Structure 1
Amino acid sequence: MANVPAPFRISEPEAGFDAVVGSLSGSDEFVARLSRYLGSAQGLILAPGTGQSPFSDSEKMRVRIGMVTDGVWVWHVAWSDYVAYHRVTPPAEFLQHIESVDFTVPDISVDRALEICEEIGLPMPD
């Protein structure tokens, strides 16, 4: 188990989440759809590098760095990697939201993405 930043609704503060490796049940197709959703949302802030996975001691197990949104929730893009490589289950309410939109990420305009950055306190370019 590792405590990682939890996905959060735009109107709520970010919090930690005790994530468990191997806790995600479902077919390989389900896991792939979920990972694709988590990795293909609108970027808010993305880094060109990677960071150490909190679920592995191997230097080779890396995760992407950045934050993304679907216009309702915000999460670290590493969640896509947590799901794909470690089968970590996201928080139930977030997973229900993703299923309710049939794993389809909506288009978010750049203007809306910038508004979300401001709402959640991400640094804005000058």
Structure 2
Amino acid sequence: MDFELVQDVIPVEARPSIVSYMERASVLVAGGGYWTDPYTGSDLPYAEMTDGTYIWSAPWAFLVGRYGVQLPADFLAHMQALEFEPPEISDEELDQIGDAEGL
């Protein structure tokens, strides 16, 4: 899923629920290096996360929390529909998602 680096789109008061959802989702692929914060140049640990419907890079949760970067409207609506509680995904489902995504 592609996100845009547009700051201050997500209001400060909405960020904690979104960040929590994104951080508590299932880890699809962990490790493998770092991702560079485009604003500060700091390295952030890299992982691919999923809720079974969407896949995102873990550093996006940091970028939402720190900078309020824009996320796709359908992803935000999806999180809200789940009341910001990511579903539990079995190891078998994670394997299937990873295989389908070539990870």
TM-score by length of 1: 0.74
Contact 1:53/1:63 (CA < 8 Å) preserved in 2? yes
Greater RCO (CA < 8 Å, at least 6 residues apart): 2
Contact 2:3/2:70 (CA < 8 Å) preserved in 1? no
Write the distance in 2 (CA, Å) between the matches of 1:48 and 1:39: 18
1:47-86 equivalent positions in 2, closer than 5 A? 47=31, 49-54=33-38, 56=39, 58-59=40-41, 61-86=42-67
Q: SS state of the match for residue 46, structure 1?
A: strand
Give the structure with the larger helix fraction.
2
**How far did residue 35 of structure 1 move?**
0.4
1:89 aligns with 2:70: yes
RMSD over aligned CA atoms reads 1.6
- Kindly tell me: are residues 96 and 115 of structure 1, through their superposed partners in 2, closer, same or farther at Cα, counting changes over 3 Å? same
The farther-off stretch of 62-71 and 83-92 is 62-71
**How far did residue 18 of structure 1 move?**
2.7
Q: Radius of gyration: which is bigger? A: 1
Aligned sequence identity (%): 25
Write the distance in 1 (CA, Å) between the matches of 2:16 and 2:43: 18
Indicate which of 17, 21, 27 corresponds to 2:7.
21
| Aligned structure 1 segments of 4 or more residues deviating by more than 2 angstroms | 16-19, 48-51, 61-64
**How far did residue 116 of structure 1 move?**
0.3
**How far did residue 19 of structure 1 move?**
2.2
Q: SS state of the match for residue 4, structure 2?
A: strand
Give the structure with the larger strand fraction.
1
Which residue matches 2:79?
A: 98
Q: Could you tell me which runs of 5 or more consecutive residues in structure 2 were left unpaired when the two chains were aligned.
A: none
**How far did residue 26 of structure 1 move?**
4.8
Please tell me the residue identity of whatever aligns with 2:10: L
Aligned residues: 103
